[in-house]
Amino acid sequence: MRGGLGNARTCGQAIVALLEQYGVDTVFGIPGVHTLELYRGLVGSRIRHVLPRHEQGAGFMADGYARVTGKPGVCFLITGPGLTNAATAIAQAYSDSVPMLVLSSVNPAATLGRGQGELHELRDQQRLMSGCTAFSARAETPQDVPRLLKRAFDLFASRRPRPVHIEVPIDVFERKVEEEWAPTGLRRAPLADANLIRRAAGLLGAAKRPAIVVGGGARTAVSALRRIAEAVGAPVASTVAGIGILPSSHPLCAGPTLVSPATRQFLEHADVVLATGTELSSTDTWAARPRFGGTLIRVDIDAAQFKAGPGAELEIRADAGPALEAIASLLPAGGARNGAEKKAAELVAAWEESLGAGDRLRKRAFDAVVAASPTDTKFVSDMTQLAYTAHTVFRAETPGRFFHPQGYGTLGYALPAALGVKLGKPRAPVVALVGDGGILYTLSEMATAVDEKLPVVVVLWNNCSLQQIREGFVERGIEPVGVSPAPPDFETLARGFGWRAAKVERFAEIGPAMRAAHESGRPSLVEIDAGRIGD
């Protein structure tokens, strides 16, 4: 058996071998004394191990990898601090419906719950993780592992994708496994009720003022969504995760304008709204949840959303892809009707016309970044003002072009997630949008980019401030506190990690700096001095 110990195979080795059979090709983690047997399994394995500099980075890398590939991102984490370091990233993945498999160690089975002061001991690690995962479970014996992995991969294949945590006591990792483990057939997503599909098609076909809201859960429904929109003449507004599902060049595309009062008003006055693959949450609108004055049809794989989100007259629990295909098959092919194309254009124009001076400045900078980047570039953003502007004005022809930590809203996401995206799609150019505050959360992952030879481009919007929070203080009449940290010399820091670095102060300099970064074949930082940027 590979990895030593003669012909014996430990549970740790058997786990890695089973993950290979499930199609896992990359894992993210930092080895520790509690996971050595798991790492023994990686010796001679086809699975690539990526070493971040912090477990939070491991989680965000797994998130980016999962978003761009559709496969679960996999983390190997040590007991206690390794797992809690990654908890923020795991919670982000939970909020944004990202499939992630977190395999961690835990203290020896006989010590659990005794409070004896074992290394890395938590009172109840499994219970702690249950709040940010679809499920958290412990393998009490090696024989529990295949069942728990099957449960995890079943969930990824058939339900709303979310992180799963499986912990293995370190003494269980060491036990011998005699039998051969193999995957079994996975469950499939539920099929939509045919009667509900007919009702949905009937309501849409008879609508006078239809509208569609599309979220990331409908990424597999590109063709069907377009056919439905064209058949009934419905403008299509998207969440950030739904950008590009309907091409921005399509005349019915209203883009990611749910943040716009004009779009929310339009949805309120539509007589039929089809919402698919979206929670319709306040984080999608930067305001209260949207209101619907007409008939709301919701298609969602997660039945819990029908109670958690806006109430719908018609609730269809199913994966968006086959459900929308079924609806589209019952509608006649046709062009847009009732001035729908004009309305979609008006919604896009209304949002862009509403942009204030700050957004217009940032839009100009982002447009320059996009213009100087290859057409298939993937954009990964942090919680920063540049990104808040960017994802409302970005226009994509295909889905999976813009990734943002929308729901949980974690700082430090973009850099490590961009590395995960690059690992998942090595040929795709990748640009991370970060702020001077957020990048310091995970700056150490610049070292991982060099180790793994990942030529991502980080665009740093440096306004020497936690500007969004500063503006919040001012709006409430509170004297700003703790929002003006002195930034480091980012160029010097980047070069110290082995990155290429450039700083720009004029709009005309952004394009040349971006093109040089993309052409360099190296990890590159392009810092935009937000306080000085101008002509």
The 10s digit of each residue's pLDDT in 460-499 is 999 988 888 999 999 999 999 999 988 899 999 999 999 9
Helix axes 222-232, 320-329, angle to 10 degrees: 40
Span between the terminal Cα atoms of the chain, in Å:
65
Do 194-350 and 355-529 fold alike per CATH?
yes
Q: What is the DSSP-derived secondary structure letter of residue 315?
A: E
- pLDDT of the residue at 8: 73
- pLDDT of the residue at 204: 96
Residue 36: helix, strand or coil by DSSP? helix
- pLDDT of the residue at 4: 44
Host H or E run for residue 286: none
- pLDDT of the residue at 96: 95
> CA distances (Å), 446 to each of 265, 279, 348, in order?
44, 34, 37
Count of Cβ atoms closer than 10 Å to residue 46 Cβ: 9
What's the rounded Cα separation, in Å, for the pair 373 and 415? 17
The burial of 252, by beta-carbon neighbours within 10 Å (0-12 exposed, 13-18 middle, 19 or more buried), is given as buried
Count of Cβ atoms closer than 10 Å to residue 132 Cβ: 22
- Token pair 């309120």 is found at 268
- pLDDT of the residue at 201: 96
Q: What is the DSSP-derived secondary structure letter of residue 217?
A: G
For the chain, which residues make up each domain, given as ranges? 11-174, 194-350, 355-529
- pLDDT of the residue at 203: 97
CATH architecture of the domain covering 11-174: 3-Layer(aba) Sandwich (3.40)
Q: Among candidates 81, 172, 85, which has minimal Cα distance to 120? A: 81
- pLDDT of the residue at 354: 95
- pLDDT of the residue at 360: 96
Q: Which residues of the chain, if any, have pLDDT below 70? A: 1-7, 335-337
- pLDDT of the residue at 307: 87
- pLDDT of the residue at 7: 59
Domain 194-350 in CATH: superfamily? Answer: TPP-binding domain (3.40.50.1220)
Count of Cβ atoms closer than 10 Å to residue 44 Cβ: 12
- pLDDT of the residue at 529: 94
Fold of 355-529: Rossmann fold (3.40.50)
- pLDDT of the residue at 337: 65
What's the rounded Cα separation, in Å, for the pair 315 and 317? 6
- pLDDT of the residue at 10: 96
3-state secondary structure 472-485: HHHHCCCCCCCCCC
Write the Ramachandran bin of 521: left for phi over 0, alpha for psi from -120 to 50, otherwise beta: left
> CA distances (Å), 135 to each of 101, 162, 221, in order?
10, 9, 28
Q: What is the DSSP-derived secondary structure letter of residue 289?
A: P
Angle at 530 between CA 363 and CA 422, to 5 degrees: 65
Strand order in the sheet with 295-300: 253-255, 236-238, 210-214, 272-276, 295-300, 314-317
